[in-house]
Amino acid sequence: MADNKTGLELRSLIKKSGQLEISLARVPVPEPAADEILVRVEASPINPSDLGLLVGAADMTTAKASGTADAPVITAKVPEAAMKAMAGRLDESMPVGNEGAGVVIKAGSSEAAQALNGKTVAMIGGAMYAQYRCMKAKDVLPLPEGTTPAEGASCFVNPLTSLGMVETMRREGHKALVHTAAASNLGQMLNKICLKDGIGLVNIVRSAEQGDILRKLGAKHVVDSSKPTFMDDLTNALVETGATLAFDAIGGGRLAGQILSCMEAAANKTAKVYSRYGSSVHKQVYIYGSLDTRPTELVRNFGMTWGIGGWLLFPFLMKIGAADGARLRQRVVDELKTTFASHYTKEVSLQEALQLDNIAAYGRRATGEKYLINPNKGG
Amino acid sequence: MADNKTGLELRSLIKKSGQLEISLARVPVPEPAADEILVRVEASPINPSDLGLLVGAADMTTAKASGTADAPVITAKVPEAAMKAMAGRLDESMPVGNEGAGVVIKAGSSEAAQALNGKTVAMIGGAMYAQYRCMKAKDVLPLPEGTTPAEGASCFVNPLTSLGMVETMRREGHKALVHTAAASNLGQMLNKICLKDGIGLVNIVRSAEQGDILRKLGAKHVVDSSKPTFMDDLTNALVETGATLAFDAIGGGRLAGQILSCMEAAANKTAKVYSRYGSSVHKQVYIYGSLDTRPTELVRNFGMTWGIGGWLLFPFLMKIGAADGARLRQRVVDELKTTFASHYTKEVSLQEALQLDNIAAYGRRATGEKYLINPNKGG
């Protein structure tokens, strides 16, 4: 199937009729301009943030496979009620895959591009679930000798997000952090960063097994939201760490509000006078994921000094500027095989990524389970 | 009953047993120090913010009257589930009444105090539901000649809150405002300010009658949340005004989230490219009241660039500092009989404020209904 002029690219399309269609398009291999390089993509993770674009609001229990083994097609229904939120992407065949890594196989004439020829590089910018990706030379992250594409595939989203959480904590005047779905790949990185930097971190997990994963990494504060003592356990951990800022990957249900309630209870343990407006300590939760797509429910028993908001990596990087962004990226490269090492459940080809059993597995968004796509696997 | 040495003061007490008790205590009239003045309080409004302290979390459908006509006592039950939130005030007899106005009847020896003798002044600082209130001379607001205590009773909470909303809008880079429960006394002030200052204001009301009140004041954008076309009406008003900041007095239910959803829809009407993270326009709702005490429910269909938080007058005034605070206060005095004029449903004595029918009326927190206590009525 492979030739030198075309390559496969995964596409997600939601039609006006309410049908999701995921397929592999055969597209021309781009010719790099002077300041560009052409990368053979060999590793690209399926992050929760990719699933949003890949399956959109479709109900994947309705998913059906068709097409051929080489050119599989997946279709599924988008519920009527969810179509409004999809309005912006209707009838547009969209490439997917935020980040990845691969080998530079062709370079433009510029010195910067030529210097990368044959190098393994990490990339961010979408359309990574493809055999070839053309990038500006200045936008890629060259990986140190001896780094494989699989090792460098997740250089951006999780590493920069976890570093961004710590950076946000410092910039907004908090002294410790709370994190939910804390046994995730991202959560494990955050634990390593906080242990290394001496920052208090309260990990909220949903099962004993997830707690064990973190304790093995050396996590000091792990609380289990499935236990009846959860609220007390969380409050105690907040008193011990002084954490007044949380990053929440769950989004839906009562958890974000419960964190604020416990922060308020922790603040009031040391309060001297009663104020019916609650403590004057600012309590903040940033929702950066949506593992639970139900509504967020806030039982407002945490006074008036609080905030909840969305948090997203790219606007954050824009806000801190190029110099600070470069500092964070350098740390990722320096600690790629330690702090920022990622582990994958399974490596799949583009075709395998479109098999129903694999979709069911990575679509679960289960903590600690992560798929890696190698668009050139066996190719 | 009146003598020169004692005066009545309204007190609210929540006992460990779960009983609320509201009563009138006879307390010594304070002797003003050199820099203080003694004020005979003649007018103090019952704001929603006062009700929180007055009745706390008690279920007022269980309220019972006892005592005598001169010394009435109201008791009610605090539901078990709500007692945790009351922990900070248990068994403490608390004075009530954030703001008020009255006549200076005694002054300390300092020049500043003496200059106020016989003057009508407005005050903030709690314990205003009392016949006498001792204040530092520098902390009161002297009212212009010809202003009655009733006219000056609400100089702080509503005027400074509405001015604070406009000030917050400017400081946080928004160009227009949304306000809920918009026909309230506060909402009427906000309309007058915005009309005078040329600021776009989207008023959300819950009935046609409330809409009429605002239209009579000249309000341009009034949307009714009880109508089936509410979401479309709101989105259109947001497109017309460009409002990306809302102040919400309701708090509970879905309204705060609906405002964010409509802001997102308004932003996407002009968006050029699809982003599954939603528009990059920051959308903010500040909850400053809790007319609906149910949980806040956010259906997160408004992208990732949003925030919700508590907003409270005093921390806001602390943040902007003394000079800007003085500027806002001066505007209140200058426009006290126009922009900041308050209207009251009924004037009651301290004893009448403790009658079950009056409690039922002001306890409804109905938009446009407001009681004024005159602690020296008939005294």
Exposed/middle/buried for B242, CB within 10 Å: 0-12, 13-18, 19+?
middle
Q: What are phi and psi of B194, to 5 degrees?
A: -65, -40
What SS3 class is residue A162?
helix
pLDDT of residue A379: 53
Chain A environment of B89 (Cβ under 8 Å): 274, 276
Chain A environment of B88 (Cβ under 8 Å): 268, 271, 274-275
Convert the pLDDT of each residue in B169-214 to its tens digit. Answer: 999 999 999 999 999 889 999 999 999 999 999 999 999 999 999 9
Contacts of B222 (CB under 8 A, 6+ apart): B182, B203, B205, B211, B214, B215
pLDDT of residue A1: 40
Measured between CB atoms, does B296 come within 8 Å of chain A?
A: yes
Convert the pLDDT of each residue in B311-335 to its tens digit. Answer: 999 899 999 999 999 999 999 999 9
Q: How confident is the model over B31-35, as a mean pLDDT? A: 97
Measured between CB atoms, does B88 come within 8 Å of chain A?
A: yes
A301 closest CB neighbour out of B85, B268, B306? B85
Measured between CB atoms, does A272 come within 8 Å of chain B?
A: no
Measured between CB atoms, does B105 come within 8 Å of chain A?
A: no
B290 closest CB neighbour out of A92, A300, A306? A300
pLDDT of residue B237: 98
pLDDT of residue B367: 65
Residue written as tokens 């190719």?
A379
Which residue of B lies nearest to A303 if distances are taken between CA atoms? B310
Measured between CB atoms, does A52 come within 8 Å of chain B?
A: yes
Domain boundaries, chain A: 6-154+343-373, 157-315
Fold type of domain A157-315: Rossmann fold (3.40.50)
What's the rounded Cα separation, in Å, for the pair B326 and B317? 10
Which residue of A lies nearest to B272 if distances are taken between CA atoms? A88
What's the rounded Cα separation, in Å, for the pair B278 and B268? 8
Is-contact B87 B16, C-beta < 8 A?
no
Measured between CB atoms, does B34 come within 8 Å of chain A?
A: no
Instruction: Calculate ∠ Cα A286-A288-A294, nearest 5°.
Output: 95
Among residues B95, B56, B92, which one has the least CA distance to residue B77? Answer: B56
pLDDT above 50: residue B1 = no
Which residue of A lies nearest to B85 if distances are taken between CA atoms? A301
Measured between CB atoms, does A308 come within 8 Å of chain B?
A: yes
Convert the pLDDT of each residue in A82-111 to its tens digit. Answer: 898 888 899 999 999 999 999 999 999 999
Convert the pLDDT of each residue in B244-296 to its tens digit. Answer: 999 999 999 999 999 999 999 999 987 777 777 889 999 999 999 998 989 99
Measured between CB atoms, does A173 come within 8 Å of chain B?
A: no
Q: Report residue B68 as tokens.
A: 């005598």
B251 closest CB neighbour out of A252, A297, A300? A300
Measured between CB atoms, does A268 come within 8 Å of chain B?
A: yes
Measured between CB atoms, does A295 come within 8 Å of chain B?
A: yes
Convert the pLDDT of each residue in B123-154 to its tens digit. Answer: 999 999 999 999 999 999 999 999 999 999 99
Domain A6-154+343-373 grouped into CATH 3.90.180.10: yes
Measured between CB atoms, does A307 come within 8 Å of chain B?
A: yes
A297 closest CB neighbour out of B251, B275, B295? B295
A305 closest CB neighbour out of B56, B275, B315? B315
Contact B297 A299 (CB under 8 A): no
Q: Compute the mean pLDDT over every residue in chain B, rounded to the nearest whole number.
A: 94
pLDDT of residue B84: 83
Convert the pLDDT of each residue in B352-379 to its tens digit. Answer: 999 999 999 998 877 667 899 999 997 5
Is-contact A62 A77, C-beta < 8 A?
yes
Interface with chain B: mutation pick from A298, A314, A317, highest number of B CBs within 10 Å:
A298
Q: What are phi and psi of A321, to 5 degrees?
A: 90, 170
Average confidence (pLDDT) per 10 residues, chain A, 379 residues: 80 96 97 98 94 92 95 96 86 96 98 98 96 96 95 96 98 98 94 98 96 97 98 98 98 98 93 79 96 95 96 93 94 95 93 96 80 89
Is-contact A78 A56, C-beta < 8 A?
yes
What's the rounded Cα separation, in Å, for the pair B302 and B258? 9
Chain B environment of A296 (Cβ under 8 Å): 297-298, 300
Convert the pLDDT of each residue in A39-75 to its tens digit. Answer: 999 999 999 889 989 998 899 999 999 999 999 999 9
Contact B298 A295 (CB under 8 A): yes
Q: What is the pTM of this model?
A: 0.85
What is the β-pairing status of strands B72-77 and B132-136? unpaired
